[in-house]
Structure 1
Amino acid sequence: MLVKLNTLIFLTFTFNKNESCKLLCRKVYKTGKVEDQRKLDRLVLAIKESYAHHCIALVLFKDKLPERIPRSVAMFCDARDVEKQSDDAVYLYNHVTITIEYHDLGNDPNFLDQPVGGRIISVRVAPLRWLSLHYESYTAIPRLNLLSPGSEFEITYTYSVQFVKTDIKWASRWDYILNAKYGTSIQWFGIVNSVVIVLFLSGMVAVIFLRTLYRDISRYNRFDNSEDVQEEFGWKLVHGDVFRPPRHTLLLSVFLGSGSQTILMVFVTLVFACLGFLSPANRGALITCAVLLYVFLGFVAGYVSARIYKSNCETIASLCDLFFSVRGSAHNDADATVLRALTVCNFRIIFGVFFICNWFLWASESSAAVPFTTLLVLLLLWIGVSLPLTFIGAYMGFKKKAIQFPVRTNQIPRQIPPHLVLSKMFPSMFMGGVLPFGCVLVQMFFIFNSIWAHQTYYMFGFLFLVFIILLVTVSETTILFNFYFSHAHFIDCHCGFTGVYLFIYSVYFFVAKLSITGFVSTVLYFSYTLIFVFIFILICGKKVLV
């Protein structure tokens, strides 16, 4: 899924044989030619904007056909600047020194019957600037300046290969990349901080049930019969309204179903990652697994949505009304328009934003643009797999009995004073989102670094623990604030405000940590961030102003 349109460049060399300054190719540009000048200008612009090559080593042996190799071997490439260029010039790296570390298997007892030279452990690439092939050392080399070319400008691309023997075994080849020492103390600090938040919330919930409810029950037990019971107070005043169907039942049902689908998708993906099935060695496996799980878990979304919708509506709509129309469920044309746009829209929202971003990449002729065939495959997965499974899940949900609520709903809804809405809703929105976001703040830093700073992320164990803590925190926060709302006689508003904190943090990360310039790059960052925030809201705030 992380598609890159890579260009294959074959560098031919013999194992364990060093090569010095081998010619790869020559490119000749004529500055008087419009097409060549355009290519040079584009190359200069790319250098000024710090574009870099992303290398993947694909090992192909001469005596074997490529189709006989089960998978490519992705090697880590450490591209580093040898010297800093001056501000008033632009230089091109036209030479690379490839350092290949290998583990010698010549004396390995497991390979005595078959001669084996060794196994490649790592590949490192160091860029250099050479003007021609006539220099035997790397010192005092004339610079290749693109800003002052002659009438005919030639660039010679060369490479050198050096083999270095190492004691690192094949099974440990990823250890130097996936070294978890960096950031481990910060991760444990975040875990401890999250556990403290969970314990704090657990204590508050325990106080509510052990003191407040016990006090209320004791107060009722002091009366001999129900006729002596005085006027009700607190949460008991609204016990007949808490299960009243929301104003937008269909919208709530869709978001609850999609939230359940997303939670299961993230949970199963993290379990596979913790078990080692989604290694960074298999490029794009994590996102591919997540997308496939999301598609096949459409059954869960349909089932949950149908059960919630059936339990809150006296008139049960058909499957087509539930997923494609809202006739009879919207109060006015405006609500109907909104619900038609949002029903089964979670995939369409994500796909739509992703398609717009990909259109910008196409317009910019970027290699990061996803091919149209891949987008078509995603669309076919949704239409051919996810949507039928969603219908099947909804059918099963409608076949089940409606959820029976423990109390009867009052026929006349209780009136809520307007001042309570302003005084109770907005403070609770800000307070309710702080604690769940505090649990994931440290992980958000590492995840954003992995996505936007191209750092390897392999601490899925920490991420799984934080995800479980997040679910517990959100559940306890919901219990706490529902009890708080019921005491305030306010039962109409719940929202996923944690996503707002995540968006604010993403803006801070963009301003303080990144150096992104250009309109397209900015649009891509905030578009992908909005997708991430939307998914986060589905997980944490499955009740959104309904």
Structure 2
Amino acid sequence: MAGDVRHTARLLITLLLSAICNAFYIPGWSEKTFKDGDLIPLFHNKIFSDSSELHYAYSELPFVCPPSGWRHPSARLTSGTSLTLNLGEVLRGDRITVSDYELVMGEDSEAKFLCSHTVDRKGVRWAQQLIRDRYMVEWIVDNLPGATPFVTTDKSGKYYAAGFRLGYEEFDPHSMRSRYFINNHITMVIRYRTAMGKAGNRGEKVILGFEVYPKSVEVGNRNMTSGLPHDIYSIEAGMELTFGKNTTSEDGTVQTTESDELTIPYSYSVYFREEENPFISWSNRWNVYFVHDEDSRTVHWLAIVNSLVISGFLTTLVAVVFARTIRGDIKGTTEIGLEDGKLKMKYRKGLPSPRRSLDKSTGIFDPIDGEDGLSAEEEDMVEDGSGWKLVHGDVFRTPQCGTLLAPLVGSGMQLVFMASGQLLLSCIGVLNPSFRGGFTSVGLSLFVFCGLFSGYFSARVYKTFGGRQWQHNVFVTGSLIPGLAFSIVFILNLFVWGHASSSAIPFGTLIALVALWLLIQMPLVYCGGWYGQHRAGAWEHPVRPTSIARQIPPQPWYLRRLQLILIAGIMPFLIILIELMFVFKSLWVDKSGFYYMFGFLSVVGVILILSVVEVTIVAVYLQLCAENHQWHWTSFLVGGSSSFWIFAYCLYYYYFKLHIHGFVSSMLFFSYSFLACGVYGLLTGTVGFLAAYAFVRRIYTAIKVD
């Protein structure tokens, strides 16, 4: 933590510059080459598990070899030194340090001794717990994570799974208890190929793969002098994490005594092998981590087809609303005009005059001649779908809590521009698996700079609603959503700090985030708000609101707000469901963050936005036809309604797909899922509101023109 505090100033200055520089990883161009005899640095990162949301720095574990401080002569690195990380790496729990392992390009080593480390009872118990939770270890060589190789189903190739097992658990039927073994011998295979071009002519090579094969070797299977295994290919017993010590007495009997310490010897082997697969090159070396997803491409295409079918149905429905119903209403009614916010009509010949009068004191239409209900003309308008004309004087009335809706819309547009930028950079290859933590770093940077758009849209909506204290609106816009998110993350961080997990955000990073928020984003929000308030101004309405609001009649059950929100959110949720499954697998199961199918995600995202727009327009039109003029919040909530179903899917995923246990891990899962769903709902809700607003202005402007 102290180190992070020291680097806070540096982090603030270089955050965006480092993100931009690291982002320009161009496959096939930014390769790193090694000559025979060059020392290849190996870095320790973290351990992770699909049973827990808590990560731990590998170099800080009490049962592994501590750094010796050995200085790598060619790489100019000292073992135990922590590398400077970008913001995304810190937030995802990475803690990268230089190791003591010696990997020399082209030099095989059948066995090398690393150290013998003595562990107390507390350290052994923790190691047993981590093995019980199936923790995996992540090492890094040439920016590639150490991987466990697997063979494909048809045995025609192989693929990598990032990380290797910390140890394994066996159940002893004799003692009826579990035994825990730690992997204390690591065999590493470096796959390489001669570099292309001039570098290859000079004998330089590039690394294409980093495979790790862990083993557990007991102390008795090792040479007492060198500490190396007698036969690395024939291991009789593993290194069990137990305090029992076998001693042989003078009469030849074996006795087991308890000890308070356990000595674990560590060793390793290194082999360099030229890659035989001609289709693997440095530019596509990450593909082997995703070979097992190749068959899923068909599933992705089916998901897109499914999304297109649903979106096509919605598009047809909206086209009917526009072309048949609304346009027919506008041109089919004999004469409709808007003068000074009042509706003028010439009723069809033969129809009686309206049979209701307006009580100006209450704003309620009272029946005439003792008759209840609508007049014949109004009933005819409601029945043929043109009841939306009756609320022409109320649709542009300032909604309740409009001072809250405006900041939410501004923050939603901030997220729209941020997400669009991330998807664009991902599709063109700037954000890729080799840019570790880049998606988060660039996303936060875009979010901060998109505060300009947040202030602009919030100010325009606020002024349209008749707001006068635009500085107050700017402050709320810049602080509401970031403040809530930061507060939740800070509270969660307290629990993670208590477990000494690397998932905890260091104090210095928290200060840097606050500085980015207050010193960069807030001024940008103010600038955007000033421009939206004084230069752009409010949106003009075709109809001026009446002085007295019209009473809203009883609504059908399916148009009541809660039912409408739940029903409307189903279709957008179904559109992204299949792609959501792959994203969840990458985030919560694999824990690798190596989701890479951003092309599919972008296509599905575009279809999702179109479906949100269409669903919201249909919902608002039905609401207006039912003479309900309070459409502002409804459009926002309907647009973001699929976030409810996504959170429900998170619950299903937790109980039926994941193996997470423990209070803190479960709390982290649900809290981060809630935050993600909230951000998604804010984004889509904003899109829905703006689409509905444009739709309402359009139909009432068309009436005025005709």
> When the two structures are superposed, what TM-score results if normalisation uses the length of structure 2?
0.68
Alpha-carbon distance, 1:189 to partner? 1.1
Does the Cα contact within 8 Å between 1:424 and 1:488 map onto a contact in 2?
A: no
2:262 counterpart of 1:127: no
Matched, 1:170 2:308: no
Q: Distance in 1 between matches of 2:200 and 2:495?
A: 56
Q: Cα–Cα, structure 1 residues 222 and 405, in superposed 2: closer, same or farther, change >3 Å?
A: closer
- Could you say which residue in structure 2 is the equivalent of 1:212? 325
2:487 paired with 1:358: no
Task: Sort the Cα spacing of 1:223 and 1:293 in 2 relative to 1 into closer, same or farther, 3 A.
Answer: closer
Give the Cα–Cα distance (whole angstroms) in 2 for the partners of residues 236 and 7 of structure 1: 68
Q: Which moved more, 1:268-277 or 1:210-219?
A: 210-219
Match of 2:520 in 1: 385
3-state SS of paired residue (1:100) = strand
* Alignment root-mean-square deviation, CA: 2.4
Q: Report deviation, 1:149.
A: 3.2
Residue of 134, 139, 144 corresponding to 2:239: 144
Conserved 8 A contact 1:100-1:164:
yes
Q: Which residue of 2 aligns with 1:194?
A: 307
Question: Do the aligned residues in 2 keep the contact of 1:420 with 1:490 (CA within 8 Å)?
Answer: no
1:185-264 correspondence runs (5 A)? 185-221=298-334, 226-228=345-347, 231-232=377-378, 233=381, 234-264=387-417
Cα distance change on mapping 1:476 and 1:91 into 2, 3 Å: same
Deviations 1:50-73 (A, max 9, x none): 22212222x5xxxxxxxxxxxxx3
Residue 126 of structure 2 corresponds to 42
Once the two structures are superposed, the pairs formed by residues 308-387 of structure 1 within 5 Å of their partners are 308-313=461-466, 315-319=467-471, 321-324=472-475, 344-387=479-522
Q: Contact 1:98–1:126 (CA<8 Å) still a contact in 2? A: yes
1:161 aligns with 2:279: no
CA contact (8 A) 1:241 1:413 kept: yes
Deviation at 1:18, TM superposition (A): 1.3
1:157 aligned counterpart, secondary structure:
strand
1:277 to 430, 436, 445: 430
Other-structure match for 1:337: none
* Equivalent-residue separation in structure 2 for 1:109 and 1:514 (angstroms): 47
Corresponding residue number in structure 2 for 1:424 = 560
8 Å Cα contact 1:56/1:76 also seen in 2: yes
Post-superposition offset of 1:436: 1.1
Work out the CA distance in 1 between the residues paired with 2:89 and 2:580.
20
Contact 1:82 1:128 in 2 (8 A): no
1:111 and 1:516 map into 2 onto residues whose CA distance is 48
- 1:276-295 map, 5 Å: 276-295=429-448
- In 2: Cα distance, 1:285 partner to 1:347 partner: 20
Runs of 4+ in 1 over 6 A off after TM superposition: 222-225
AA paired with 1:165? E
3-state SS in 2 of match to 1:403: coil
Tell me the CA shift for residue 6 of structure 1.
3.4
- Matches of 1:235 and 1:360, distance apart in 2: 53
Deviations 1:341-398 (A, max 9, x none): x873111111111222222211100122221111111110010110000011111111
Distance 1:259 1:380 in 2: 22
1:77 aligns with 2:129: no
Query: Offset of 1:140 from its aligned partner?
Result: 4.0
Among 451, 460, 463, the residue aligned to 2:601: 463
Q: CA deviation at 1:217?
A: 3.2
Cα distance in 2 for partners of 1:295, 1:491 equals 36
**Structure 2 contact 390–627 (Cα < 8 Å) conserved:** yes
Asked if the contact 1:421–1:490 (Cα under 8 Å) also holds between the matched residues in 2, the reply is: no
Task: Find the counterpart in structure 2 of residue 478 from structure 1.
Answer: 616
Residue 153 of structure 1 aligns to which amino acid in structure 2?
L
Cα distance in 2 for partners of 1:53, 1:414 equals: 66
Match of 2:89 in 1: 2
Name which of structure 1's ranges 245-254 and 491-500 shifts more when overlaid on structure 2: 491-500
Separation in 1, partners of 2:104, 2:482? 49
Deviation for aligned residue 1:462: 0.6
Q: 1:266 to 1:162 in 2, by over 3 A?
A: same
Aligned counterpart in structure 2 of residue 110 of structure 1, from 198, 201, 221: 198
Write 1 or 2 for the structure with the bigger share of strand.
2
The structure whose RCO (Cα within 8 Å, separation 6+) is larger is 1
Alpha-carbon separation, structure 1, partners of 2:450 and 2:441:
14
Tell me the SS of whatever aligns to 2:147.
coil
> Do the aligned partners of residues 200 and 423 (structure 1) sit closer, same or farther apart at CA in structure 2, a change above 3 Å counting?
closer
Aligned equivalents of 1:82, 1:362: Cα separation in 2: 23
User: For residues 370 and 446 of structure 1, do their structure 2 counterparts lie closer, same or farther at Cα, with a shift above 3 Å needed?
Assistant: same
C-alpha change, 1:223 and 1:386, in structure 2 (3 Å) is closer
Is this contact kept in 1: 2:478–2:521, CA < 8 A? no
The alpha carbon displacement at 1:138 in A equals 3.0
Q: Is the 8 A contact 2:335 2:345 kept in 1?
A: no
Task: Specify the code of the residue in structure 2 equivalent to 1:40.
Answer: V
Number of corresponding residues:
504
Report the secondary structure of 1:143's partner residue.
coil
Distance of 1:25 and 1:89 partners within structure 2: 24
* 1:440-465 CA-partner distances (Å, limit 9, x unpaired): 11121111111112252110101111
The residue type equivalent to 1:200 in the other structure is F
Q: Which runs of 5+ in 2 are unaligned?
A: 1-87, 149-162, 172-177, 223-227, 246-258, 338-343, 354-376, 382-386, 690-706
* Deviation larger for 94-103 or 425-434: 425-434
Higher radius of gyration, 1 or 2: 2
SS in 1 for 2:479: coil
Aligned to 1:516: 660
Amino acid at match of 1:466: V
Give runs of aligned pairs for residues 2-41 of structure 1, distance below 5 A.
Answer: 2-3=89-90, 4-29=94-119, 36-41=120-125
The match for 2:65 is none
Structure 2: distance between partners of 1:7 and 1:26: 20
**Alignment correspondent of 1:330:** none
TM-score after normalising by structure 1? 0.87
CA distance in 1, matches of 2:133, 2:290: 29
AA of the residue aligned to 1:520? V
Q: What SS does structure 2 have at the residue aligned with 1:375?
A: helix
- Match for residue 414 of structure 1 among 520, 527, 550: 550
Aligned equivalents of 2:321, 2:621: Cα separation in 1: 8
C-alpha distance in 1, partners of 2:581/2:326? Answer: 40
Which residue does the alignment assign to 1:491? 629
The equivalent position to 2:644 in structure 1, one of 497, 500, 508, is: 500
CA shift for structure 1 position 426: 2.9
- Which one-letter code corresponds to 1:53 in the other structure? V
- The aligned counterpart of 1:55 is 139
SS of residue matched to 1:176: helix
SS at match of 1:175: helix
> How many angstroms apart in 2 are the aligned matches of 1:252 and 1:534?
15
Structure 1 residue 227 displacement after superposition: 4.1
Measure the CA separation in 2 of the matches of 1:226 and 1:524.
Answer: 60
What is the rounded CA distance, in whole Å, between the counterparts of 2:124 and 2:266 in structure 1? 15
Contact 2:110 2:269 in 1 (8 A): yes
Amino acid at match of 1:269: Q
